[in-house]
Copies of this chain bind each other. A is one copy, B any other.
Amino acid sequence: MVTFASELYERQGIKGDRRRQIVQVLQAALDAVDPAAAVKRFAQRDGGALIVDGHTYDLTTIENIYVVGGGKADAPMAQAIEELLGDRISDGTLNVKYDHLLPTERITLREAGHPIPDDEGVAGSQRIADLLEQAGENDLVLCLISGGGSALMTLPVEGVTLDDMQTLTNALLRAGANIVEINTIRKHLDQLKGGKLARLAAPARVVSLILSDVVGNPLDSIASGPTVPDTTTFDDAWGLLRRYDLLGKIPESIETYLRQGVDGEIEDNPGEGSPVFERTQNVIVASNDLAAEAGQQAAAELRLNTLFLSTYVEGEAREVGKVFAAIGKEILASGRPIGRPACVIAGGETTVTLRGEGKGGRNQEMALAAALAVQGIDDVAVVCLATDGTDGPTDASGALAEGDTIARGRELGMDPWEYLEDNNSYPYFASLDDLLMTGPTHTNVNDLTFVFVW
């Protein structure tokens, strides 16, 4: 449940009304991406058939259904699948993050390390691989994927250890490689990533239900794309090592393996056009844009004019916050791009460059910057929400910035610039009772930003 930190929004008058509107819009957005609800929206049982996003699987002709996967939101997804398929599930094994277990009956949930992979994760991933090897032509593999799946489903290739992988990653980071480049190499050193989970499952049919935590929903990036074609090759991976001058400086096991790949001794990852994917269906069941759309619909039901701006928002939180404030100011000044009462909806994931020692998160920091930019302007609110309910290392999911946020802070003796410089947005909004509190939502589709102009 979305609430403000205090009862403030329950107070009388226009301010209370507006806060209730905000809560309603945020709650609708979060409800839309609840992992279990998301699975059930895209996968339904129709008697003897399983219908997934328009595709019908005749369960009477399917021998075994296996459920595999990994990710932070996998436990509620698994529960939804058990509710749907019950004893038609032959076997299942999923890796979830420590302390993310929920009760299941036929699917085994294994706790594993995240964000740093650990041996538990490798053991669970080996069990997934073993299960996939069993799957035959008349079987159906349901793959449940959510954020964190890349770390949780880690299964290095023969001869390469977790330590080797960590050494490689550190070397690449030091050399300045970006995440796409790092993943290009890692996808060639893992038995499940880069489409290889689907290849292991073949000739079984594969249905992958994906809860996206990556801006723009690039299928090959979410959990390193275990069921989608890989667009990169051993040559690409080798080229990157050469480019960053890391040959001879990384674990020999890795160099040996990739060298064999380049020499054609090991089959490359299945790419676009590989027959593996002819029997694979990938469905994004929840994503930032689904949440944003639900928020937009809720705002429209409140008779607000709405504008769906973008779900690709990235950048330094404090700077991005200024742009959202600028949009609110224009609506107020000129009724452009939409008239009042208005709600502008956006999503994505910003970053925070740490400068201080304070406590906060990217959404709270964005809100503080927005508050500075809308200072003294009535009727505008910028609301910043982490959909997982945990914005940075805090128990808040975001914050609300309004025209009087800075003045109310000053009354309490708070200099907003000092708090911003110190990355200390949490205590700032906590003092004002303007933190958004949801508790952990068990989902994660990045962040949402709403600009309300009444």
With an 8 A cutoff between CB atoms, is A336 at the interface?
Answer: yes
Q: Cβ of A412: which chain B residues have Cβ within 8 Å of it? A: none
Q: Cβ of A323: which chain B residues have Cβ within 8 Å of it? A: 310, 313, 315, 320, 323
Q: Say whether, besides A309-B337, A337-B309, A348 and B326 are in contact (CB < 8 Å).
A: yes
A312: which of B289, B316, B329 is its contact (CB, 8 Å)?
Answer: B329
Q: How far is the CA of A373 from the CA of B311 in the complex (A)?
A: 14
CB proximity of A453 to chain B, nearest CB, Å: 12
Q: Cβ of A312: which chain B residues have Cβ within 8 Å of it? A: 325-327, 329-330, 333
CB proximity of A448 to chain B, nearest CB, Å: 14
Q: Say whether, besides A326-B348, A330-B309, A337-B309, A316 and B316 are in contact (CB < 8 Å).
A: yes
Q: Are B216 and A333 in contact (CB under 8 A)?
A: yes
Q: How far is the CA of A289 from the CA of B334 in the complex (A)?
A: 10
Q: Are A326 and B313 in contact (CB under 8 A)?
A: yes
Chain A window 299-311, contacts with chain B (Cβ cutoff 8 Å), 1 for yes, 0 for no: 0000000011111
Question: Which residue on B lies nearest to A176, using beta carbons?
Answer: B417
CB proximity of A381 to chain B, nearest CB, Å: 16
Q: Are A337 and B315 in contact (CB under 8 A)?
A: no
With an 8 A cutoff between CB atoms, is A163 at the interface?
Answer: no
Q: How many residues of A contact B (CB 8 A)?
A: 28
Q: Say whether, besides A323-B323, A337-B337, A330 and B311 are in contact (CB < 8 Å).
A: yes
Q: How far is the CA of A315 from the CA of B350 in the complex (A)?
A: 14
Number of this chain's copies in the complex: 2
Q: Cβ of A289: which chain B residues have Cβ within 8 Å of it? A: 334
Q: How far is the CA of A319 from the CA of B333 in the complex (A)?
A: 24
Q: Say whether, besides A334-B289, A337-B307, A322 and B326 are in contact (CB < 8 Å).
A: no
Q: How far is the CA of A231 from the CA of B307 in the complex (A)?
A: 35
CB proximity of A403 to chain B, nearest CB, Å: 14
Q: Cβ of A158: which chain B residues have Cβ within 8 Å of it? A: none
Q: Cβ of A373: which chain B residues have Cβ within 8 Å of it? A: 314
Q: How far is the CA of A289 from the CA of B330 in the complex (A)?
A: 10
Q: How far is the CA of A326 from the CA of B348 in the complex (A)?
A: 9
Interface residues of A in 329-384 (CB under 8 A from B): 329-330, 333-334, 336-337, 346, 348, 373
CB proximity of A323 to chain B, nearest CB, Å: 5
A315: which of B308, B314, B319, B348 is its contact (CB, 8 Å)?
Answer: B319
Q: How far is the CA of A311 from the CA of B346 in the complex (A)?
A: 19
9 sample A-B contacts, Cβ–Cβ < 8 Å, listed by A number? A308-B336, A309-B337, A310-B323, A312-B325, A312-B329, A315-B319, A316-B316, A316-B319, A323-B323
